[in-house]
């Protein structure tokens, strides 16, 4: 067993690159690490990780010489960072290279859900167009008041795009940003009360668990659309489903879910939700850039240099 272990549902080209550059064997998921013989586990110095759950202290303790975890993705909520730090393990991620794709997708979801594009396409494919009245009128997206929950790197790109759609920009973040003309809120309920629609762009993990609560959803109201390209854990999903089923929220554009890759079946049945299988960063260009950044972090750390994009 080599010193680098690739773990996660990687694309073939990344498995190949990790094998060629680091002689890294590949496991489909972190739950398989326990099956490796102890002597092989002891050789692992670095994990090249891709995934959305399962890298806690128990897995780390199976790898006594683990020093680096390089995450394929900007969000690292799958990794127990305090546990890694306590064990002297450096964690890295892949920020920035995916901002454009994720922001593009957020706007696409907002427009698609506001205009009910998927339902309209289905209606047309089912042959209704030539048969009778035109497709029901939907709601305009340009010029709305939109709240961006989290004005980090991705949130900023989303807000810039919303500005191009003549939207009034409101945002929630810990500190006020240098963004003249945009409205800062310190509480998600206040943000939701001030806007028509909301886009979630905060990090996942314990600090944002359930931040979009039943109260936030109620404050947005029956004309509001919520878009989530961040993490399913940020929304109270029961409250969201209830509001969508009962017309207390107009719609939702969702790329992430609590139960992914097997979301709650009630979500799959919602006509007013536009849903995607966590594809925010899923373009050839961006995934190539993410892979390259992950491998640069890995190379630098193994060479004894500081990481390019460390997390802890
Ligand atoms: C995933 C993401 O990393 O970067 C993130 O935080 O959620 C995605 O880009 C990607 O889907 C690989 O799992």
Q: Is residue 310 part of a domain?
A: no
211, 149 in Cβ contact below 8 A? yes
Q: Residue 168 — pLDDT band, cuts 50, 70, 90? A: very high
Range of the domain at 77: 4-95+284-302
Is 299 in the active site? Answer: no
Average of pLDDT values for 263-271? 97
3-state helix, strand, coil in the chain (%, to 5): 40, 15, 45
Please count the helices (runs of H) and the strands (runs of E) in the chain. 12, 12
- Residue of 248, 278, 296, 299 marked active site: 278
Q: What angle do CA 154, 158, 160 make, to 5 degrees?
A: 115
**What ipTM is given for this predicted complex?**
0.97
Same-domain pairing of 267 and 289: no
Same-domain pairing of 158 and 249: yes
Same-domain pairing of 88 and 144: no
CA atoms within 13 A of residue 287's CA, in its CB half-sphere? 14
User: CB burial class (10 A; 0-12, 13-18, 19+) of residue 305?
Assistant: exposed
Question: How much is the pTM?
Answer: 0.96
Same-domain pairing of 9 and 144: no
Q: Is residue 144 part of a domain?
A: yes
Q: Is residue 57 part of a domain?
A: yes
Same-domain pairing of 131 and 271: yes
201, 229 in Cβ contact below 8 A? yes
Residue 39, Ramachandran bin (φ over 0: left; ψ between -120 and 50: alpha; else beta) = alpha
Pick from 303, 304, 290: nearest CA to 48: 290
Same-domain pairing of 147 and 19: no
Q: Is the CB of 75 within 6 Å of ligand 1?
A: yes
Average of pLDDT values for 281-289? 98
Same-domain pairing of 260 and 164: yes
Is 13 in the active site? Answer: no
Q: What is the pLDDT of residue 169?
A: 98
Same-domain pairing of 60 and 88: yes
Preceding amide of 261 cis, omega within 30: yes
What are the tokens at 31?
Answer: 């739950």
Same-domain pairing of 183 and 138: yes
Same-domain pairing of 15 and 47: yes
Q: Is residue 292 part of a domain?
A: yes
Q: Which atom of ligand 1 is nearest to the CA of 286?
A: 9
243, 217 in Cβ contact below 8 A? yes
Average of pLDDT values for 181-198? 98
Q: What is the CATH number of the domain that holds 55?
A: 3.40.50.720
- Residue of 231, 250, 287, 295 marked active site: 231
Average of pLDDT values for 74-83? 97
Q: What is the pLDDT of residue 1?
A: 41
Average of pLDDT values for 54-60? 96
End-to-end CA distance of the chain: give it in Å, rounded. Answer: 27
Pick from 303, 301, 312, 309: nearest CA to 46: 301
Mutate to test the pocket of ligand 1, among 15, 281, 291 (most ligand atoms within 8 A of CB): 281
Q: Is residue 309 part of a domain?
A: no
40, 62 in Cβ contact below 8 A? no
pLDDT higher than 70, residue 280: yes
- Residue of 260, 266, 296, 299 marked active site: 260
Of all protein residues, whose CA lies closest to atom 1 belonging to ligand 1?
73
pLDDT higher than 60, residue 2: no
Total tally of structural domains belonging to the chain? 2
Average pLDDT taken over every residue of the chain: 97
Q: How many CB atoms lie within 10 A of CB 113?
A: 27
Q: Is residue 307 part of a domain?
A: no
Average of pLDDT values for 140-148? 98
Q: How many CB atoms lie within 10 A of CB 65?
A: 11
Q: Is the CB of 278 within 6 Å of ligand 1?
A: yes
Residue 151: alpha-carbon gap to chain centroid: 14
Same-domain pairing of 135 and 44: no
CA distances from 274 to 112, 117, 218, 261, 267 (A): 7, 9, 20, 16, 9
Same-domain pairing of 80 and 168: no
Q: Is residue 268 part of a domain?
A: yes
Cα 168 to averaged position of ligand 1 atoms, centre (Å): 29
Give the pLDDT confidence of 210-250 residue by residue, as tens digits: 999 999 999 999 999 999 999 999 999 999 999 999 999 99
User: What whole-number distance in Å separates Cα of residue 4 and Cα of residue 68?
Assistant: 9
Is 250 in the active site? Answer: no
Q: Is residue 249 part of a domain?
A: yes
Give the pLDDT confidence of 5-53 residue by residue, as tens digits: 999 999 999 999 999 999 999 999 999 999 999 999 999 999 999 999 9
């Amino acid at each position: 067993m080599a010193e680098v272990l690739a773990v996660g549902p990687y694309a073939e080209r990344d498995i190949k690159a990790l094998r060629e550059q680091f002689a890294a064997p590949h496991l489909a998921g972190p739950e398989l690490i326990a099956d490796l013989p102890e002597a092989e586990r002891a050789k692992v110095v670095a994990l090249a990780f891709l995934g959305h759950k399962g890298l806690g202290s128990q897995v780390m303790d199976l790898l006594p010489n683990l020093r680096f975890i390089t995450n394929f993705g900007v969000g690292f909520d799958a990794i127990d960072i305090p546990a890694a730090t306590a064990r002297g393990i450096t964690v890295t991620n892949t920020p920035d290279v995916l901002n454009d794709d994720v922001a593009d997708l957020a706007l696409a979801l907002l427009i698609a859900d506001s205009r009910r594009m998927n339902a309209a396409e289905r209606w047309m494919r089912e042959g209704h167009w030539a048969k009778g009245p035109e497709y029901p009128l939907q709601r305009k997206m340009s010029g709305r008041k939109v709240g961006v929950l989290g004005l980090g790197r991705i949130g900023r790109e989303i807000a810039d795009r919303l500005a191009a759609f003549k939207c009034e920009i409101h945002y929630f973040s810990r500190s006020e940003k240098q963004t003249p003309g945009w409205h800062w809120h310190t509480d998600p309920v206040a943000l939701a009360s001030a806007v028509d629609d909301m886009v979630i762009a905060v990090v996942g993990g314990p600090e944002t668990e359930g931040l979009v609560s039943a109260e936030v959803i109620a404050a947005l109201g029956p004309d509001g659309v919520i878009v989530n390209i961040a993490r399913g854990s940020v929304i109270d999903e029961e409250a969201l489903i209830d509001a969508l089923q009962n017309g207390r929220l107009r719609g939702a554009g969702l790329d992430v879910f609590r139960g992914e890759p097997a979301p709650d079946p009630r979500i799959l049945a919602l006509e007013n939700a536009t849903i995607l299988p966590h594809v925010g960063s899923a373009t050839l260009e961006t995934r190539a850039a993410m892979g390259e950044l992950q491998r640069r972090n890995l190379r630098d750390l193994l060479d004894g240099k500081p990481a390019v994009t460390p997390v802890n």
